Amino acid sequence: MNTRVALVDLQSPLGHIGIINFYIKNLKKNISYIFLNKKIRPYVKEKNINFYLYEKNIFLRFLNLISVCNYLISKDIKKILFLSYEVKFFFLISFYLRYKKITFFLVEHDTLNLKKRFNFFLNKLIDRSAIRLVYTKNQYFFVKKFFRTHCYITNHPIIKDNKDLSKLYSNTNTNLNKYIKKYKGFILIPSRFNINFSHLYSFIEKNKNFLFIVLSKKIKILKNVIFIENIRENIIKKVDAIYLPLNDLVYHYRVSSWIYKSISYNKKIILDNDFTYKFEKKRFNNFIFNTNMCLEKIIRNKINTKKNFIKDYNLKLVNDLKFLINNKQLERWPSG
């Protein structure tokens, strides 16, 4: 065990529980201390986890994180992997970590967003000793251009929701069987935010013979559109494809976790002709389709992949991440 590396995610967004569990399971032998938000305790089965109360007040949250950092420093931790971070005050944390000679990694999610100008300004204040981990080349070039710090590309895990995640959802009793005779297939639209509505309604309009299942209350309920409060595994298994009408301005510098979840369930993914489509098509050609294609042809298409495709993909990203966090050449302040 590497006794000098810690993993911290005091935000622990509920939407990231699958990723958090994945990293803990695969990195636990390389990490000494793990600190997570107390609210996700029911959804994490691994032992030896420190669950911490993360306050609602921003000043108290800052003190919470400083407290955790001080504890880790007292235990001679030299590297910290932050699975998420709060842009509003992390620049202050970064100065403190630099002062204490701690090497730290930041996993970038929706933190490289030019539309959030104030957050972007604060993000630029984060000390340049930060090592940023991103999921795409666009994010990589973005970091190099605006932050001028070390940056590495890692892959997003391909994972299904674990069984414990079902505790998050109320019962979803939508019976799709009653729609089978009326529609040629079922298309799930799981996007709740950052939706390109013009593309969305255009796609629904030209495919009236398909039933669209939506999770966002912002989407109009039309004749071939039904709304469900949340999504369970039984619904994902029944749909023929998953359509993601992403706002290209937002997703130019982030990825959609639904792409990787869809692949884990062996589902076809339909995207508009935007940056995400071009990026993911090169990586997952058999899974990715364009809205310009005939939907009936997309549904009839068979997905052909190598036997251990997902296992090999996840194993590589884990090994790459282990190499990064254990690489002595990346230590900002090597010791001995």
Tokens of 208: 């009236």
Output the DSSP codes for 50-100. EEE---SSHHHHHHHHHHHHHHHHHTT--EEEESS--HHHHHHHHHHHHHT
For the chain, the distance separating the N- and C-terminal CA atoms, rounded to the nearest angstrom, is 18
The CATH number that applies at residue 287 is 3.40.50
φ/ψ of 153, rounded to 5, equals -90, 130
Structural domain boundaries, residue 128? 5-159+314-330
Output the DSSP codes for 237-257. HH-SEEEE-B-HHHHTTS--H
Give pLDDT tens digits along the chain (336 positions). 455 899 999 999 988 999 999 999 999 999 999 999 999 999 998 999 999 999 889 999 999 999 999 999 999 999 999 999 999 999 999 999 999 999 999 999 989 988 889 999 999 999 999 999 999 999 999 999 999 999 999 999 999 876 666 656 555 567 788 888 899 999 999 998 899 999 999 999 999 999 999 989 899 888 999 998 877 787 888 999 999 999 998 898 899 999 999 999 999 999 999 999 999 999 999 999 999 999 999 999 999 888 899 999 999 999 999 999 988 777 766 553
- For residue 152, is it within any domain? yes
DSSP 3-state percent helix, strand, coil across the chain (nearest 5): 45, 15, 40
Are residues 45 and 191 part of one domain? no
Are residues 263 and 192 part of one domain? yes
Determine the Cα–Cα distance for residues 236 and 256; give it in Å rounded to an integer. Answer: 16
Q: Any alpha helices (H) in 87-136, and if so which ranges?
A: 87-99, 117-124
Determine the Cα–Cα distance for residues 212 and 219; give it in Å rounded to an integer. Answer: 11
At residue 75's C-alpha, the angle toward residues 73 and 77, to 5°, is: 60
Residues in the chain: 336
Are residues 231 and 135 part of one domain? no
Are residues 152 and 59 part of one domain? yes
Sign, CA torsion 298/299/300/306: positive
- For residue 41, is it within any domain? yes
pLDDT at 126: 97
Judge contact between 271 and 244, C-beta under 8 A: yes
What is the count of structural domains for the chain?
Answer: 2
Q: Are strands 211-214 and 225-227 parallel, antiparallel or unpaired?
A: parallel
Taking CA atoms, 175 is separated from 103, 232, 261, 335, in Å, by 51, 12, 22, 61
- For residue 251, is it within any domain? yes
pLDDT at 336: 38
- For residue 231, is it within any domain? yes
